[in-house]
Amino acid sequence: MLQEFATLIDSGVSLATALDSIAHSGHHPRIIAAFADMAKAVRRGDSFATAFANSGLELPAYMQQLVEASELTGQLATALDDGVRQYEYDLRLRSEFRSALVYPLILVASGFAAIAVVFLWVVPRFGNLLSQRTEQLPDLSRWVIGSGVWLSEHLGALFMIFLALLSAAVALLRRADIRQSLLEILSRTPLVGPWLLEAEVGRWAGTLGTLLSNRVELTRALGLAEASIGLSFLRARLGQVTRAVRGGAPLSLALREHRALNPGGYDLVAVGEASGELPKLLLALARLYQSSGRERMQRVLKLIEPAAIILIGGAIGLLVTAVILAISSINDLPL
């Protein structure tokens, strides 16, 4: 919708006509209603920035700031297009992560299902061995067969407990504070942590570069870019950077002092400040972090698949070994 609106404005269509066009399109009813309200507000004489702020559309805060900045520069189409690109990156990052997790999750779920079938339906068939010849069974066989028999006898209760735990987990994950806590925990892990950090810094650099290229004042842009960060420790560092810049420190020096970027990032920001091309170099820095983060994500996900196969195969092999040992011991077969 935003891209369509920006294209209409860039093509020379008047603001009111572009708003009416979206309001009579086939978009979601909430979008149509929001643009109809904006069209009425603009015709009443309200500024587009005011109408946009009161539209009720759930958009990042930097979109509003870009619209407000465009009223000063007269470049609404450019501001919207820049905001759309940044918004697309934010959405694409989440979509890529979810899509990449589909196959590993299916693999893990299938593996657990196979283990459950063996453990709950195959292993209990040897339960009579426990009552008849317990002393002849190896310890591994006794433990595996006994556990399988007990689980099969209490399957209904275990299923209800599983549903209750699943419902509780879903309810907890719907809470923003729980999701934030999980994100903080993942950021400290050796594999996922660096990827999350680079993704967050890339989002910050892209947001800041987009705002500055549309002539949003530096300290205001820093505050908005800081608000887009999800990791609390990184947000705190960038908050210190914002305060240092407000105190008169150069951005590159403030970033270096508070360890908010890597050495290459400091150099790019310093070059941007010296050349007057800070927005352009921040956007270049964002692309570097995005590429690096995407490569890290792919490496992490590639490790999940073989690890899951090894663990699932090991678990099934353990169950089969226990059953074979039980049969061998009963029939006095040499091992």
Using one digit for the tens of pLDDT, what is the confidence trace for 222-246? 887 887 787 888 888 888 989 999 8
Q: What does the pLDDT read at residue 110? A: 84
The distance from CA 166 to its chain's CA centroid, rounded to whole angstroms, is 21
Q: How far is CA 250 from CA 84, 273, 274, in A?
A: 29, 8, 10
Answer whether 191's CB lies under 8 Å from 300's CB: yes
Which homologous superfamily does the CATH classification assign to the domain defined by 78-116+160-335?
Answer: Type II secretion system (T2SS), domain F (1.20.81.30)
Residue with the bigger pLDDT between 72 and 27: it is 27
pLDDT in tens, 165-175: 989 988 887 88
Q: What does the pLDDT read at residue 71? A: 74
Q: What number is the average pLDDT over the span 188-208?
A: 80
**Where exactly are the structural domains of the chain?**
2-58, 78-116+160-335
Share of the chain residues as helix, strand and coil, in percent rounded to the nearest 5:
85, 0, 15
What is the SS3 assignment for 175? Answer: coil
Backbone angles phi, psi at 75, to 5 degrees: -115, 60
pLDDT in tens, 265-289: 888 888 888 888 888 888 888 888 8
Q: Is 148 exposed, middle or buried (0-12, 13-18, 19+ CB in 10 A)?
A: buried
Q: What does the pLDDT read at residue 220? A: 83
User: How many CA atoms, within 13 angstroms, populate the side-chain half-sphere of residue 205?
Assistant: 28
- Of 250, 210, 206, 204, which Cα lies nearest the Cα of 223? 204
* Model confidence, pTM: 0.66
Residue with the bigger pLDDT between 53 and 142: it is 53
Query: Quick one: tokens of 40?
Result: 């009425």
Q: How far is CA 46 from CA 37, 38, 75, in A?
A: 11, 9, 18
* Residue at 154: amino acid letter: H
- Decide if pLDDT at 334 tops 50: no
Query: Quick one: tokens of 298?
Result: 């792919």
Percent of the chain's residues with pLDDT above 90 = 1
pLDDT band (50, 70, 90) for residue 164: very high
